[in-house]
Amino acid sequence: MLYPFVKMGGTASTSDAVARRPLDAEKIMLFLFFLIITSLYSGNVKAFELYKTFQTPDVFLAEMFNNQVPAPTVLNLDAKAQSEISAVFNRPFPSQRVRYWKDANKTVWVFDDIGKEGYVPTTSGFAVSNGAIETARVLIYRESRGEQVAEPSFLNQLKGAKAAGNKLSNKVDNITGATLSVQMMERMARTALTLDILSH
């Protein structure tokens, strides 16, 4: 039902009502825009929730040292050290100063790497004893796929691995759909071994 309204010059006509319809279209467009923005925001929240913290660095360190975590030591990487790391890390280490923890039996390293260029870094921890990986742990996984590398069944393959050229002495099975993440963990373990050597 059309309700006329009073305006200058007389009562509104049907043509006036027709002329007002574009306002309704504008409202619809604004509503659709709101839905799109809400959808994009929800997608970002979902992506953020994909980041998984399996263990915080502090808890990892406490476990490695039976709750008696020593003060961190700093390893300074000169050009020669960076060259050695680049050979196994596939690029220079992102920092010239690397914090690590040690006791009489092992060194412990916590650092980041990426599975693929453009991805968000994953944080992992490694304990090295007598030139071999004693413990490998994914701490914070920030990629949308490949989180199987955080499972003990995978990480146990790295245990006992030593340096073999620029690779590991242990054979590590690939995970379908997570090849880059598997390579990342192998690369990080091998880098931890090099860092351990440089720290002595």
The tens digit of pLDDT for each residue in 82-141 reads 999 999 999 999 999 999 999 999 999 999 999 888 888 999 999 999 999 999 999 999
The answer as to whether 90 is a domain residue is yes
Q: What are the Cα distances from residue 104, in Å, to 65, 70, 101?
A: 11, 11, 11
The answer as to whether 137 is a domain residue is yes
Same domain, 60 and 45: no
The answer as to whether 93 is a domain residue is yes
Same domain, 101 and 13: no
What distance in Å separates the CA atoms of residue 161 and residue 144, rounded to the nearest whole number?
28
Same domain, 170 and 122: yes
Please check the confidence at residue 159 and state whether its pLDDT lies above 50.
yes
Same domain, 100 and 181: yes
What distance in Å separates the CA atoms of residue 55 and residue 76, rounded to the nearest whole number?
27
The answer as to whether 23 is a domain residue is yes
Same domain, 155 and 60: yes
Same domain, 157 and 182: yes
- Domain count for the chain, please give it: 2
The answer as to whether 160 is a domain residue is yes
The pLDDT value given to residue 13: 47
pTM of the model: 0.75
Taking only the tens place, the pLDDT of each residue in 42-66 is 444 334 446 899 999 999 999 999 9
The answer as to whether 1 is a domain residue is no
Same domain, 151 and 118: yes
Same domain, 57 and 29: no
Same domain, 86 and 157: yes
Same domain, 28 and 60: no
34: domain range?
Answer: 6-49
Same domain, 45 and 16: yes
